[in-house]
Amino acid sequence: MKKIGFLLVLLSSSIFGQEIESVFPKAFGEFPQVRDFAMTANQNEIYFTVESYKKEYSFIAYIKKVNNKWTKPAVVSFSGMYKDLEPFLSPNGLQLFFASNRIDNQSKEIKKDIDIWVVERASLQSNWSTPKNIGPIINTKADEYYPSVTNTGDLFFTAAYKDAKGKEDIYVSRFVNGVYTKPVSLGTGVNSEKYEFNAFVAPDESFILFTSYGRKDDLGRGDLYISYKDKNNSWMPAKHLEAPINSANIDYCPFVDIKTNTLYFTSARNELRKSFSSKKNIDELTRALKFDANGLGRMYKVNIKELLERKRD
């Protein structure tokens, strides 16, 4: 089995004593754009979305560590026909939630909107089940996407419902006695009159990371923000993550490996050179254009231990 290692490329200066690095397994390079990082707690499986250049189509793929080596990317068993994206694993790794326009459980037509779906497995070694639409309490004629699930099974997601505080809000549906409750928009500590989307919620619900577009401190096209719970269990005013995590291009799709305090996120940052000091041949130019930060969707990581430790500041 061919080993697929991680190529870690230094992007910019340190933050909290750590470096921003490009998460770019060699196999990722064969895809136009990648986004949405989800990893099992034992760090042996990674799920991600592959998008076409103009994002018309996407599917969910995965790599798996076998004998301490990463397998080649493969399409997950339930994807490859419809527009699937934004995989999220439950904390125990036995459920995988995702967004899709696929045929729902009662219809034979591809939906015009995006719904949230789920697959399940009996163990980490088992196969995934047939996808199931999570139902009309959450899924409507509007778009619902980017699921994030806590230890208690509560589901956080993005939607553009009529009662939204802004253009798009982050909602939560509590999982009570095996049933999802009516979604509620999060408070003004998170949501605003602008766009809020793509939230990662800590398994214990102690913090939430999300993207917002249009705020005064937005560096451009959407930045990452973090909010913590106060003593009254309410979300405190979100804090903008400083550069170099945020960039002049969209930074989104956060995921945190709680064990290592590592933030993984997607960015369309662009650091391609506009000119060269000497003439380059075709191979040199091809390598330059394939540079990680080339304006296409790529994934990056940084340790945020200090950020999480000073959350009450």
| Residue 242: per-residue pLDDT | 87
Residue 126 lies in a domain: yes
pLDDT at 12: 38
Q: Is residue 25 in a domain?
A: no
The pLDDT value given to residue 289: 85
CA angle, 162 as apex, 148 and 238 as ends, to 5°? Answer: 45
Write the single-letter amino acid at 74: A
pLDDT of residue 78: 97
* Residue 1 forms part of a structural domain: no
If one counts the domains in the chain, the total is 1
Nearest to 84 by CA among 26, 18, 36: 36
Owner of token pair 């106060």: 230
Distance in angstroms (rounded) separating the CA atoms of residues 188 and 173: 17
> Is residue 310 one of the residues assigned to a domain?
no
CATH number at residue 118: 2.120.10.30
pLDDT value for 29: 72
DSSP character string of 164-205 = -SSSBEEEEE-EETTEEPPPEE--TTT--SSEEEEEEE-TTS
Q: Is residue 172 part of a domain?
A: yes
**Termini Cα distance of the chain:** 48
Q: Please tell me the distance from the alpha carbon of residue 77 to that of residue 80, in angstroms, as a whole number.
A: 8
Q: What residue type is assigned to position 146 of the chain?
A: Y
Could you read off the pLDDT tens digit of each residue along the chain, which spans 313 residues? 333 333 333 333 344 445 778 876 566 778 999 999 999 999 999 999 999 999 999 999 999 999 999 899 999 999 999 999 999 999 999 999 999 999 876 656 666 789 999 999 999 999 999 999 999 999 999 999 999 999 999 999 999 899 999 999 999 999 999 999 999 999 999 999 999 999 999 999 999 999 999 999 999 889 999 999 998 999 999 999 988 899 999 999 999 999 999 999 999 999 898 999 999 999 999 888 877 788 999 999 999 998 888 765 5
What is the span of the domain harbouring residue 232?
35-251
In a domain, 183, yes or no: yes
What is the pTM assigned to this prediction? Answer: 0.90
Q: With respect to residue 199, please indicate whether it lies within any of the assigned structural domains.
A: yes
Residues 6+ apart with CB under 8 A from 116: 97, 98, 99, 133, 134, 138, 139, 144, 145, 147, 155, 157
